[in-house]
Amino acid sequence: MVVLKSVRPAISCSSFGFDGDQLVPLHKVSFVNLTLPASLLSVRLSSRNNAKLSLVQATKESSTASTNDSAAVFSATNGKATNIVWYKSSVGKVHRQEVLQQKGCVIWITGLSGSGKSTLACALCQALYSRGKLAYILDGDNVRHGLNRDLSFKAEDRAENIRRIGEVAKLFADAGIICIASVLSPYRKDRDACRSLLPEGDFIEVFMNVPLQICEARDPKGLYKLARAGKINGFTGIDDPYEPPLNCELELPQKGNNCASPCEMAEIVISYLEEKGYLQA
């Protein structure tokens, strides 16, 4: 925690009677330049009127304006973007959920290629539609046709692919929509990073626990055959690892030689949504 007693304005505030060489108490309007270590999670600005500011995300360098009321303007350096401000609408997530009569969330379906992720996503979307609920599918392949068309399958690009999908899924959930992300997403750290974007409970991880030999036997896209022939490098399950979830909300396993039908699996997910109250406002 960093406590600031007074600050030197970063810009001239002559209209307020300040200049760049004067120390200004925090109960007056001032601009603060902060260089923050990566480990710093929050900063609180306190003054005689108890004005406070909490940083949602630590950034390397932040520029913050504090005022003598409870509302503060936050202008930050976030990644490569500078001087950005979050504008909050008067219509929030709760209002949108009331209109839709459902709660926004992200259903993140993960598993090997050929495990049935996209099939489940489509069955689930159809089942929700039949109940009058609004859902949208973010399919891993579909997203690479547009938003992520500039990304390869190298490790760093795969991580960025998942990060972008996670951010878009978060926006859908904030809109009150049930977002179904059907993404291979082989690495736990990338899935956990997406989970951390949402409020607790709003990220529902569904693990398609289908053995590699069954996925390879299905091989709907012919990718396993190409990987075995050495024509695809870094293919998950062949020469790149898949890290199964350790604490997923739902696991849909293979049962002997038979697998539950897509509709049956969709009903399992819907039962979970009903139990957790996501199908009502």
Which residues are tagged catalytic? 185
Neighbours of 1 (CB within 10 A): 7
Tokens of 137: 């599918």
Return the structure tokens found at 92: 């929030």
Contacts of residues 222-226 at CB distance under 8 Å and 24 or more positions apart, as own/partner, are 223/113, 224/113, 224/114
Q: What is the DSSP string of the chain?
A: ----SEE--SS--GGGT--TTS-EETTS-EEEEEE--TT--------TT------SS--SEEEEEE-SSS--EEEEEETTEEEEEPPPPSS-HHHHHHHHTS--EEEEEE--TTSSHHHHHHHHHHHHHHTT--EEEEEHHHHTTTTTTT--SSHHHHHHHHHHHHHHHHHHHHTT-EEEEE-----HHHHHHHHTTS-TTSEEEEEEE--HHHHHHH-TTSHHHHHHTTSSSS-BTTTB-----SS-SEEEE-BTTB---HHHHHHHHHHHHHHHTTT--
**Rounded CA Rg of the chain:** 24
Closest CA to 187 of 109, 250, 243: 243
